[in-house]
Amino acid sequence: MENPQVQVTRSFDARGAAAIAPRLRASWQRSERYGVPEDEVVPVFSGAVDTGSLLYECGTEVLRGLQTTLANEPISLMITDSEGLVLSRLCTDASINRSLDRVHLAPGFYFAESNAGTNGLGLALADRAPSLVRASEHYCTDLRGYTCAAVPVLDPLTGALAGSVNLTTWSEQSSGLLLALAQAAAGNTAALMLARASGRIARPTPRGEVFRVYADRVDPGDVPRLSPAWTTAVAEAHTAFGAGRVVAVVGEPGAGKTALAALARRDLRPRERLLNARPPAPDDVDTWLTLWTPELAKDGTCVIVSGVEALPAWAAEELARRFAEVRGGGPAPFVLTAVDAGSVPAALRPLVDLVVELPALRFRPDDVLPLAHHFARRDRGRDVTFTSAASRALTAFDWPENAKQLRRVVREAASRSDVIDTAHLPAEVFSGVGHRLSRLQAMERDEIVRCLSEPGATVVHAAEKLGMGRATLYRKMAQYGLNARQLKS
């Protein structure tokens, strides 16, 4: 088989790029790995644009000033967040606004590399560096009519990536000053953020993405060998899909329901295009339905509708009507997921032919270590080792947030070492508490875990260091479900 890198390079060369900058070449290679279509921008919409953030406030103010200077120029000025979500777009040229709407470069849509392939703002966010992408340098042909300059904006207090400033114009326009203007706007935005950051309360990251294309193109060969509980559920779904039946995969949040559905579909139809639709905020349901339901009619496309229990009743009824219209002789072009069979909205239940239940991770302890190795390899880029003490701790934990929590824990641990020991694991892994702790309780638990996990530490020494009696420490350990032996390497 030909090397994918060679294929990408040839494709790039064939489209008129005589001298390929290394960053652009790498971006094209990532775009292909993400599975981004070459001929169209697939809309990835979020119903939650945070217009109250400091980045939005300062960036929009700076761009309004720049817009006054460029009033007669066909240049669209944009602010995005760190994930490529377009927060605002300023432009007085009606023609370019209409054109950008057609390719979904508009507020509420994601334009990261994984969504739209190589483009200015996506490259700036991926590389955290000023980027200029001209005409044919775009991965997607829909974007060849534009030139985009983008510059990342860093949080002036933490240094974290806050978002980007993006300037887009027609490809035939002169781009000489475009990047310089974007750099000036990004610098002014960061400076204004610093001036206004004093006493500002951090806002939570906006949530509510309702539609996305599977960026990792689920590969059955990449999934580790898991327990019979998992493989049986995958086999049930696979058989049902092959028979043209509608499947609802149910289980606790984070258990891997969407991954299971995607794996079974990919195993049955390797070239199928998998999309994932998540429930929006109630006010955004109309937009949500309009955005992705036309995809159901496309050949070789399947939509996994996650968390249907969160849909308003009227939305479930409308969805049931649209699903009924696309039922055919082959595999149904949609899959549902929910927390349990009883939570599937009444309007959708008659469509479901089979419910596949995925047990929570605490009922699949044999899956913990294979998944931990899998997640670590994906995030670290190479295999890591877990010590016997770390393995025991991971296997013994209940994982109330399931595989989602395991991946978060492993990602953090693998970022610190290739050999993961108990010292690299968070305190939560050693706690058997069945309820949420207060902030003060969590701090106390973490400090106890830190003292007990030190080399050579005993309960007596830990109690002295913590300034409490041995009986008190034993009581605290019981309260937080801590086992001293699990904390030892």
Task: Tell which wins on pLDDT, 433 or 61.
Answer: 61
* Topology of the domain covering 4-196: Beta-Lactamase (3.30.450)
Confidence of residue 470 (pLDDT cuts 50, 70, 90): confident
Amino acid at 474: Y
| Predicted confidence (pLDDT) at residue 79 exceeds the cutoff of 90 | yes
Q: Say which DSSP state 204 is in.
A: P
C-alpha distances out from residue 263 to 142, 239, 337, Å: 30, 12, 14
Strands 247-250 and 334-338: parallel
Beta bridge mates, 80 = 86, 164
When pLDDT is cut at 50, 70 and 90, the band that residue 157 belongs to is confident
* Contact predicate 46/206, CB 8 Å: yes
Per-residue pLDDT for 248 more than 80? yes
Check whether 247 has a pLDDT greater than 90. yes
What was the pLDDT predicted at 433? 54
CA distance 16 to 141: 12
Higher-pLDDT residue of 127 and 8 is: 127
Which pLDDT does position 286 carry in this prediction? 81
Token pair for residue 352? 């479901």
Each residue's pLDDT tens digit, 396-447? 888 988 999 999 999 999 988 999 998 888 877 877 655 555 667 767 777 8
Instruction: Write down the pLDDT at residue 18.
Output: 39
Rounded CA-CA distance 56/162 in Å is 10
What would the two tokens of residue 148 be? Answer: 């985009």
CATH topology of domain 368-487: Helicase, Ruva Protein; domain 3 (1.10.8)
Q: Is the predicted pLDDT of residue 484 greater than 60, yes or no?
A: yes
Q: Decide if pLDDT at 205 tops 60.
A: no
Name the least confident of 179-183, 212-216, 346-350, 461-465: 212-216
**Residue that wins the pLDDT comparison between 268 and 447:** 268
pLDDT of residue 88: 95
Interhelix angle 257-268/228-242, rounded to 10 degrees, is 50
What element of type H or E holds 407?
helix 402-414
- pLDDT of 71 > 90? The answer is no
**pLDDT tops 70 at residue 63:** yes
Do 211-359 and 368-487 agree at the fold level?
Answer: no
State residue 460's pLDDT score.
83
Q: What is the mean pLDDT of residues 301-308?
A: 91
Q: Give Cβ neighbours of residue 389 (< 8 Å, ≥ 6 apart).
A: 421, 422, 486, 487, 488, 489
Contacts of 411 (CB under 8 A, 6+ apart): 375, 376, 379
**Mean pLDDT, range 10-23, rounded to an integer:** 54
Return the pLDDT at 391: 92
State how far the alpha carbon of 278 is from the alpha carbons of 152, 199, 274, 284, 390, in Å: 28, 35, 13, 12, 34
Residue 169 carries which side chain, given as an amino acid letter? T
The predicted-structure confidence for 289-304, as pLDDT tens digits, reads as follows 888 888 888 888 899 9
pLDDT at 14: 46
**pLDDT cut 70: percent of the chain above it:** 86
- Residue 195 near residue 38, CB atoms below 8 Å: no
What pLDDT, on the 0 to 100 scale, is given for residue 207?
A: 44
The CA distance from 352 to 247, in Å, is 6
pLDDT at 488: 60
Does the structure show a pLDDT above 70 at 75? yes
Rounded to whole angstroms, how far apart are CA atoms 293 and 277?
A: 9
pLDDT of residue 112: 93
How far apart (Å, rounded) are the C-alpha atoms in residues 320 and 248? 13
Residue-level pLDDT at 15 = 47
Rounded CA separation 367/410 (Å): 14
Residue 439, pLDDT score:
64
pLDDT above 90 coverage of the chain, percent: 47
Confidence check: pLDDT of 254 > 80: yes
**Does the pLDDT of residue 341 top 90, yes or no?**
yes
Beta bridge partners of residue 85, listed in sequence order = 110
Dist CA 149 CA 468 (whole Å)? 59
Contact between 323 and 334 (Cβ < 8 Å) = yes
- pLDDT at residue 209 above 90? no
Structure tokens at 245: 């039946």
pLDDT at 453: 74
For the ranges 38-52, 278-292, 322-336, 403-417, the maximum mean pLDDT occurs at: 403-417
User: Which CATH architecture fits 211-359?
Assistant: 3-Layer(aba) Sandwich (3.40)
Q: Which of 370, 119, 352, 343 is nearest to 256 (CA)?
A: 370
CA dist 304 and 334 (Å) reads 6
Distance CA 127, CA 261 (A): 33
DSSP codes joined into one string, 11-73: HHHHTT-SS--HHHHHHHHHHHHHT--SS-PPP-BBS---TTSHHHHHHHHHHHHHHHHTTTS
Q: Is the pLDDT of residue 212 over 50?
A: no
> Domain coordinates of the chain in residue numbers?
4-196, 211-359, 368-487
Across residues 102-111, what is the average pLDDT?
A: 93
The full length of the chain comes to 489
Q: How far is residue 426's CA from residue 438's CA, in Å, rounded to a whole number?
A: 16
pLDDT above 60: residue 11: no
* Residue 462 confidence (pLDDT) above 50: yes
Average pLDDT over the chain, rounded to whole? 84
pLDDT at position 465, please? 83
- The residue with greater pLDDT, 129 or 1, is 129
Tell me the C-alpha distance between 294 and 48, whole Å.
22
What H or E segment, with its residue span, contains residue 371?
helix 368-380
Query: CA quadruple 366, 372, 377, 379: dihedral positive or negative?
Result: positive
